[in-house]
Chain A
Amino acid sequence: APAPSSPAARNEAWVSAFPELLGPARYALEMYNHGRAAGTRAALGSVRGRVRRAGRGMVYSLKATLEEPPCNDPTVCQLPVAKKTLLCSFEVLNELGKHVLLRRNCRPVETKVTDDRNETLSSVLPLSNKAPLPQDFSVRMVSIFKEFVTKYNRTYETKEEAQWRMSVFASNVIRAQKIQALDRGTAQYGVTKFSDLTEEEFRTFYLNPLLKEKPGRKMRLAKAVPDP
Chain B
Amino acid sequence: APHEWDWRNKGAVTKVKDQGMCGSCWAFSVTGNVEGQWFLKRGALLSLSEQELLDCDTVDKACLGGLPSNAYSAIKTLGGLETEDDYSYHGHLQTCSFSAKKARVYINDSVELTQNELKLAAWLAENGPISVAINAFGMQFYRRGISHPLRPLCSPWFIDHAVLLVGYGNRSDTPFWAIKNSWGSDWGEEGYYYLHRGSGACGVNTMASSAVV
Where the two chains meet, the residues of A that have a C-beta atom closer than 8 Å to any C-beta of B are 152, 172, 175-176, 179, 182-195, 197, 199, 202-212, 214, 216-222, 224-225
Contact = CB atoms under 8 A, between A and B. Distances in A.
A184 B149 contact: yes
Interface string B19-41: 10111111000000000000000
B65 A193 contact: no
Nearest to A219: B112
Contacts of B145: 185-188
Contacts of B25: 206-208
A219 B138 contact: no
A211 B126 contact: no
A182 B73 CA distance: 39
A219 B72 contact: yes
A26 to B, nearest CB: 29
28 contacts: A172-B141, A175-B141, A179-B149, A183-B147, A184-B148, A185-B148, A186-B148, A186-B172, A186-B174, A187-B143, A188-B142, A188-B145, A192-B140, A192-B143, A192-B188, A193-B186, A194-B140, A197-B140, A199-B140, A206-B161, A208-B161, A210-B60, A211-B65, A216-B68, A216-B70, A219-B110, A219-B209, A222-B210
A186 B109 CA distance: 38
A184 B150 contact: yes
Contacts of B194: 187
Which interface residue of A193, A197, A218 has the most chain B CB atoms within 10 A? A193
Contacts of A211: 26, 65, 67, 133, 159-162, 207
Contacts of B183: 194, 206
B153 interface: yes
A205 B111 contact: no
A20 B128 CA distance: 63
B23 A194 contact: no
Contacts of A212: 157-160
A187 B160 CA distance: 20
A176 B143 CA distance: 10
B89 interface: no
Interface of B: 1, 19, 21-26, 60-61, 64-70, 72-73, 109-114, 119, 122-123, 125-127, 133, 136-138, 140-150, 153, 157-162, 171-172, 174, 183-184, 186-188, 194, 196, 207, 209-210
A214 B110 CA distance: 18
A189 B141 contact: yes
B23 A206 contact: yes
Majority-rule SS of A interface residues: loop
Contacts of B188: 192
Given A211-B161, A222-B111, 6 more contacts: A191-B143, A192-B187, A207-B25, A211-B159, A212-B160, A219-B209
Contacts of A208: 23-26, 65-66, 133, 160-162
B199 to A, nearest CB: 9
B160 A222 contact: no
B14 to A, nearest CB: 20
A183 B196 CA distance: 11
B138 A179 contact: yes
Contacts of B73: 217
Contact of B143 (A189, A214, A219): A189
Nearest to A190: B143
Nearest to A177: B141
B112 A183 contact: no
A216 B70 CA distance: 6
Contacts of B150: 182-184
